[in-house]
Structures are given as structure tokens and as C-alpha cells.
Amino acid sequence: MSIVNSLSPRAITAPESGIVEVVNYARGREGLLPLWVGEGDLPTPDFISKAAMDALAAGETFYTWQRGIPELRQALSDYYGRHFGVTLSPEHFYITGSGMQAIQIAVQAMTSPGDEIAYLTPAWPNIAAALEIAGARSVGVELQFEGGKWAVDLDRIEAAITPKTKGLFVNTPSNPTGWTATKQDLAQILEIARKHGLWIMADEIYARYFYAGGRAPSFFDVMEPGDKIFFVNSFSKNWSMTGWRVGWIVGPPETGQVLENLIQYSTSGVAQFMQKGAVAALNHGDDFVAANISKAAEARDILCDALIATNRVETLKPDGALYAFLKIDGITDSRKAAIDIVDKTGVGLAPGAAFGAGGELFLRACFLRDPAQVRTAAERLCDYIMSR
Ligand SMILES: Cc1ncc(COP(=O)(O)O)c(C=O)c1O
């Protein structure tokens, strides 16, 4: 018997990421256009890296505040004032080692083993995996897909709620579908949560990538004091900091000690010099984020216009986030198709099967790249589609 079998069943059964599987298959190929993972093509801008390097050089290498340094929590408070129009004291903010860890901490705070969290699918696979590893159950609620458009069906959410349901996980704008809740959707989802006494975990990490202008509708627009919402967020996508692994939670201040304890017993806090980089991102990064957003908007148009023009791809331009989620005529096995596409075209896509129920027939392309490269990728994909 393999010694692996003596490990925790929860650990053993955690699935391999279906995205990483394709990446591992073709990583490092010459001429590859990697649209498979959710990150841009630019490294972190210098003003952010320099702030971290200066802090490191200045000896900021000691244990630090578990909740995050006061300067960073203040910078987040200012950021939410500027971009979300809300006044939140620094006591609402908790710094985590990535958006992924923000999710883990929120899962630990919200659930006991056996509890259920309902979430909308197709979804970024890590949410379900984080729940299952924690001993909770992830209950997928499929979004509707019609004529290339994704929509939420509130009755399906209601139907998924059982006496064991502890909360709802809502990612808007969504990875991978681009579905973006309207203010009315959010108000109705919040109403369901209130009615059943549930928590909401709001993953609004793509809120700034909203192509109608401004930012996407947010639970901040509809919530009242006393609502039970943890927002999970990250520096990864806005400021090109995916490799830093720094994120944050916005939560009710009265939950602060609980969150601090959970941080203490996982990472014991994020390195102070990295937090100094994050302060620079928030305080001096608005222009950089704006440039990232316009680049994404331009590349989204190039990619989606070209693919829609083939008449063989069912999709609309996504309202938000960084992904085109493509249903290509005749593709029934997205995993095989992702391998075939990378072999024949040199374009790396993520298989929709990795995103759970409702995603099986789709392929996901991240468009936060140099628009010229995205144009080349679109041409190669169109040739592939037309030659099938
Ligand atoms: C919906 C969603 N939430 C959270 C994250 C986590 O981001 P990170 O762990 O890089 O901060 C991602 C990353 O792709 C994501 O797509």
C-alpha cells in the first residue's frame, strides 16, 4: 500500500487543477501565446517593486502586524473611498497571503466540517477545492447560458439552500464566464442570504475590469450595516502582482479578532516589505490600473470580434473580468481540445471542464496582454476553427 493512502482523504482527493494540467503539458514551448492563466504580460511596475526593495534594504524583515500594517489598511480604506464610494475605517481590512488565502481564511471563518456553501458555476476551480479541503461541501449552482449570455437564476440559488447551508460564494465579474451581476442581482442575492441567515463571500477581485465604464456593481452598493459579508480580494490582477501573493479581506470589524487568529495560525502575516509595495500600489497605482483596464478592453474587442465573426463560436463580449469563455462548434471535450489547440496553433487556452458544471464545452482565453499578441492569437484560433 502506498504511504500516500495514509494521508488525509481530504488532502488525497483534492483535484489537480485542470488548468495547470494543460500548462504543464506545453510550458516553455517556443512561440507559445499563453492565454491560459489569469494574468497579464507585464511585470510589476517599478514604483511598486522599489517600495518593497527599499523596505527590505531598510531592514523591515521582522515579524509584523497579523492583520496588516496600519499604513496598508489605511491605504485600502482610502482606495475604497476613491473607487467604491464607501467610507470604511482601517478596522475593516485584513491583509492575507494572496486572494487564494483570503478565500481560505473566509472559508475557515464561515464553515465547520459538513457545512455547505453554494456557489455559481462555471467557477474558478479553487473555491470548490478550498471548501472541500476544509471539510465543507461546495454546492454548485449553474448560471444560465443562452445566446452567448450568462445570467443568474435566483430560483436555482434558493433551491440549493438546505439546513446545512452556511453561505453563498459570489464571484462577480466572474472568472471564467465574465458574467457580471447587476445591482439588482446583488440586491436579490443579498435578500436571499438575509432570509436564510447566510454569510456571503463576495469575490470582487475583477470589479475594476468592467467594460461599460467605471467599476462593476458591488455588494457595497446594496449592503446595510449588519449584513454578513466577507469580501475577498487581491493585488494580483489590478497591479500586475500575481507572483507577490498578497491579498486582503474586507469584513465587519467585530470579526477582526477571529480573522487575526486565523491569519496567525496559517501564515502569521504577510512580509512587511511586501506590504510596503502594496501601499505604493494603492497610493500611486491608479494610472497603472487605468492603463491595464484600457489594454484589456482593447484586447477583449480584438479577440471577441474576430472569434464571433467566424459564426462558429457562441459567445458575447464579457461585461467584466479578463476572460473570453468560448463555446466552439463541434468541441465536446474541452480538455482534449485545449491540448489539440496548443499543439496545432501554439495558443494556450484553459479547458472549460476545469471550471465545473456548465463549463465542459468551453475554452477560456485570458486577454490581459499586448493587443498585438492577442490579435495574432485570434488569427491562429480563427484559422483553427475554420479548418475544422
Ligand atoms: C475569481 C478569483 N478569485 C481569486 C483569485 C485569487 O487570486 P490570487 O491568489 O492570485 O491573489 C483568482 C485568481 O485567478 C480568481 O480568478
**Each residue of 248-259: pLDDT tens digit?**
999 999 999 999
Interval between CA 203 and ligand 1 midpoint (Å): 9
Note the pLDDT of residue 18: 85
Average pLDDT over residues 66-73: 98
Q: From ligand 1's centre to the CA of 386, what distance in Å? A: 33
For residue 325, pLDDT beyond 90: yes
* Nearest atom, ligand 1, residue 235 CA: 11
State what percent of residues in the chain have pLDDT above 90. 96
Q: Ligand 1: which residue has its CA nearest to atom 13?
A: 38
Report the pLDDT value the prediction gives residue 17, as an integer from 0 to 100: 83
| Ligand 1 atom 4: residue of nearest CA | 99
Give the list of residues 6+ apart from residue 119 with CB closer than 8 angstroms, or none: 127, 128, 138, 139, 140, 141, 168, 169, 170, 171
pLDDT band per the 50, 70, 90 thresholds, residue 158: very high
d(CA 317, CA 324): 7
Handedness of CA 59, 61, 64, 69 (dihedral sign): positive
pLDDT the model gives residue 314:
93
| Ligand 1 atom with the shortest distance to the CA of 101 | 9
Task: State the distance from the centre of ligand 1 to the C-alpha of 4, rounded, in angstroms.
Answer: 29
Distance of CA 321 to the CA centre of its chain: 9
Residue 71 Cα to chain centre, angstroms: 25
Q: Are strands 149-151 and 347-348 parallel, antiparallel or unpaired?
A: unpaired
The residue whose C-alpha atom lies closest to atom 1 belonging to ligand 1 is 175
**4-44+287-386 has which CATH code?**
3.90.1150.10
Given a cut of 90, is residue 139 above it in pLDDT?
A: yes
Ligand 1 geometric centre to CA of 245 (Å): 10
Pocket probe for ligand 1: among 203, 266, 355, the residue whose CB has the most ligand atoms within 8 Å is 203
**Considering only CA atoms, which residue is closest to atom 8 of ligand 1?**
99
R_g over Cα of the chain? 21
Predicted pLDDT of residue 388: 84
Q: Ligand 1: distance of its center to the CA of 247 in Å?
A: 9
Helix (H) or strand (E) holding 186: helix 183-196
Tell me the three cell numbers of residue 83.
Answer: 473607487
Answer yes or no: is pLDDT of 183 > 80.
Answer: yes
- Nearest CA owner, ligand 1 atom 11: 99
Residue closest via CA to ligand 1's atom 14 equals 38
Give residue ranges with CB within 6 A of ligand 1.
38, 98-100, 124, 171, 175, 203, 205, 234, 236, 242, 247
Residue 358 C-alpha cell reads as: 456548465
Residue 95 has pLDDT above 90, yes or no: yes
Which of the listed residues 19, 20, 126, 172 should we mutate to test ligand 1's pocket, taking the one with most ligand atoms within 8 A of CB? Answer: 126
Choose among 124, 198, 208, 128: nearest CA to 163. 198
**pTM for the whole structure:** 0.96
Single out the residue of 131, 127, 192 nearest to residue 157, CA to CA.
192
How far apart CA 337 and CA 82 sit, in angstroms, is 43
Q: What are the domain boundaries of the chain? A: 4-44+287-386, 46-285
Q: How confident is the model at residue 16 (pLDDT cuts 50, 70, 90)?
A: confident
Distance of CA 40 to the CA centre of its chain: 13
**pLDDT at position 1 over 80:** no
N residues, the chain: 388
pLDDT digits (tens, 9 = 90+) for 122-133: 999 999 999 999
Q: How large is the average pLDDT for residues 340-366? A: 95
**Predicted local distance difference test score (pLDDT) of residue 222:** 98
Mean pLDDT (whole number) for 301-329: 96
Average of per-residue pLDDT values in the chain: 96
Give the pLDDT of residue 136: 97
Which one of 119, 205, 208, 325 would you pick to mutate in the ligand 1 pocket, going by the greatest count of ligand atoms within 8 A of its CB?
A: 205
pLDDT at 30 over 80: yes
Q: Which three cell numbers stand for residue 279?
A: 501601499
CA atoms of 129 and 125, how far apart (whole Å)? 7
Q: What is the 100 CA–ligand 1 centroid distance (Å)?
A: 6
Choose one of 103, 237, 246, 266 to mutate for the ligand 1 pocket test, by most ligand atoms within 8 angstroms of C-beta. Answer: 237
Residue whose grid cell is 438546505? 162
Q: Which CATH architecture has domain 46-285?
A: 3-Layer(aba) Sandwich (3.40)
Cell match 485570458: residue?
366
- Between the CA of 99 and the centroid of ligand 1 the distance, in Å, is 5
**15: confidence class by pLDDT, cuts 50, 70, 90:** confident
User: Which pLDDT score, from 0 to 100, does residue 335 have?
Assistant: 94
At 307-319, the pLDDT tens digits run 999 999 999 999 9
Q: Side-chain half-sphere of 237: how many Cα atoms within 13 Å?
A: 25
The protein residue with its alpha carbon nearest to ligand 1, atom 5, reads 99
Phi/psi of residue 120, each to 5°? -85, 135
- 349 pLDDT above the threshold of 90: yes
CA atoms 320, 323, 325, 326: torsion sign: positive
How many angstroms is it from 237 CA to the middle of ligand 1? Answer: 8
Q: Which atom of ligand 1 is nearest to the CA of 123?
A: 1
Range of weakest confidence among 23-37, 63-77, 189-203: 23-37
Task: Name the burial class of residue 133, with classes exposed (0-12), middle (13-18) and buried (19+) by CB atoms within 10 angstroms of its CB.
Answer: middle
The per-residue pLDDT for 160 is: 98
